[in-house]
Amino acid sequence: MPIKQSAVKKLRQDRKRQAHNVAIKNQVKKLVKAVRQQIAAKDKEKASTALQAAVKGLDKAVKNGVLKKNTVSRTKSRLAKAANLL
């Protein structure tokens, strides 16, 4: 455990930020999973709306610095490609 007050504060901030980032990542994973389920069910309308929600969530994650830009770009591309095959 840190002894200096500044180190204690830094640890507290890091834990809070980590919890926030994990929450965002879990939310994005749920959105992407929902899109994949709709694609597997071959429901084009629901897949389209789920894809829009997932793209919005992914873009927010990049904006907040939780996920890398290229990772999100690749994920969005793969989801869109799969959705267009319906």
Residue 44: predicted pLDDT: 94
1 DSSP assignment: -
Over the stretch 1-54, which tens digit does the pLDDT of each residue have?
899 999 999 999 999 999 999 999 999 999 999 999 999 999 999 999 999 999
CA gap 79, 51 in Å, rounded: 7
Which structural domains are found in the chain, ordered by start? 5-84 (1.20.58.110)
Residue 61: predicted pLDDT: 98
